[in-house]
Amino acid sequence: MAKKKYKFNPDTLSYESVGLSWKAKAAKILTYFSSSLALAIVITLIFVNFYDTPRSKRLMRENKRLLTQYELLSKDLDKVASVLSELQQRDDNIYRVIFEAEPIPSTVRNAGFGGANKYSELEDMDNAELVIATAHKLDVISKQAYIQSKSYDEVLELALNKEKMLASLPAIMPITNTDLKRTSSGWGYRVHPIYKVRKMHWGQDFTAPVGTPIYATGDGKVTDVSGSKRSKVGLGLNIKIDHGYGYETVYGHLNEFNVKRGQQVKRGDIIGYVGNTGGSTAPHLHYEVHKDGRKVNPAYYMFKDLTPQEYDKMIAISSNIGQSLD
């Protein structure tokens, strides 16, 4: 109980009780309330800033756990990326080589993501850098995995069509040449028989009498039957066959055709007969192989009807002849 206050009255020469007015009482109460409120606020701020609440501790533990999970996920994605890279190497350098298919360009495999920043909504998060990096890794791996999946679909189709592809390869000699005596000028620079200058010879020549049968070296479709017997330049009467899978073969200086444009042929079918038409100095067959639009050495593809020893002998014969027949 509060003690009463007294004040000395000189008129009555006595002490009189002193009471507070309601305003004073109100002011005093307000002062106490304000002081108490200010103290409470200070204590609360100190507690909030220097002491963790159970809820904040729980959130901090959850945040730390999520951060650990992101770090582990990022490491796992690195492992997946390493495995995917190995699969891509095998795909390009083994599977596609076996089936004569072009590798997938790195520009396709590693294509970026265009358009607006798809990670902008993550930039305000705690540990945003780690979260964004992990999300980007996941997007890149997902895209590369999709491309690899499509590539394997293509390789599977090539594998299922392997028998057809092997039958289409230009893998035999275009004329009967069991003793290899008909092998003439091969691929490379030779002295041109007419112009007497050193020129590139883009094929393989086979000497043979006029009328010798010429065979299709692989399954395919005849795409061109053209030329003239009266012409003294070029390949004269010639045939072109599209074998698919990027391969074409050309047969020049013929005397007669045995096929027509658009006809399907099988390896070993007689397509024409040796002649001496066009820019030719003696009866022979000029034979070319094209791969993906580029002329390549035909000798690399004459493996089906030759032993290794016969193949080496044919290469030696064609390489030692210094002048071509066309």
Q: Which of 87, 126, 130 shows the shortest CA–CA distance to 109?
A: 87
Name the pLDDT band for 1 (thresholds 50, 70, 90): very low
Q: Over the chain, what is the mean pLDDT? A: 81
Q: What is the pLDDT of residue 53?
A: 66
Of 192 and 261, which is predicted with more confidence?
261
Task: Report how far apart, in Å, the C-alpha atoms of 109 and of each of 75, 242, 305 are.
Answer: 21, 30, 40
Helices (H), 91-208: 96-98, 106-109, 128-160, 162-168
Q: In this structure, what DSSP letter does residue 293 have?
A: T
Top mean-pLDDT range of 20-24, 135-139, 260-264: 260-264
The pTM of the whole model exceeds 0.75: no
Residues 6+ apart with CB under 8 A from 323: 185, 190, 191, 192, 193
Q: Among 78-82, 108-112, 151-155, 162-166, name the one with the lowest average pLDDT.
A: 108-112
Q: Collapse the DSSP code of 100 into the 3-class scheme (helix H, G, I; strand E, B; otherwise coil) and give the result.
A: coil
Q: Rounded mean pLDDT of 179-200?
A: 76
Could you give the CA distance from residue 196 to residue 295 in angstroms, rounded to a whole number?
23
- CA 94 from centre of chain: 14
Q: Rounded mean pLDDT of 165-187?
A: 84
8 CB-contact burial (10 Å; exposed 0-12 / middle 13-18 / buried 19+): exposed
Residue labelled with tokens 């050309």: 250
Q: Rounded mean pLDDT of 257-284?
A: 94
Q: What is the pLDDT of residue 241?
A: 97
For the stretch 93-152, pLDDT in tens is 777 777 767 788 877 877 765 555 777 767 776 677 777 788 878 888 888 888 888 888
Name the pLDDT band for 288 (thresholds 50, 70, 90): very high
Q: In this structure, what DSSP letter does residue 275 have?
A: B
Bridge partners, residue 287, by sequence: 204, 251
Q: What is the pLDDT of residue 191?
A: 75
Helices (H) and strands (E) in the chain, counts: 7, 13
Name the pLDDT band for 50 (thresholds 50, 70, 90): low
Q: What is the pLDDT of residue 226?
A: 92
Could you give the CA distance from residue 242 to residue 248 in angstroms, rounded to a whole number?
5
For the stretch 240-250, pLDDT in tens is 999 998 999 99
Query: Is the CATH code 2.70.70.10 the one for domain 188-320?
Result: yes
Whether the Cβ atoms of residue 131 and residue 77 lie closer than 8 Å to each other? no
Percent of the chain with pLDDT over 70: 85
Could you give the CA distance from residue 250 to residue 107 in angstroms, rounded to a whole number?
34
Q: What is the pLDDT of residue 81?
A: 83
Could you give the CA distance from residue 176 to residue 34 in angstroms, rounded to a whole number?
116
Of 278 and 2, which is predicted with more confidence?
278
- For residue 50, the one-letter residue type is F
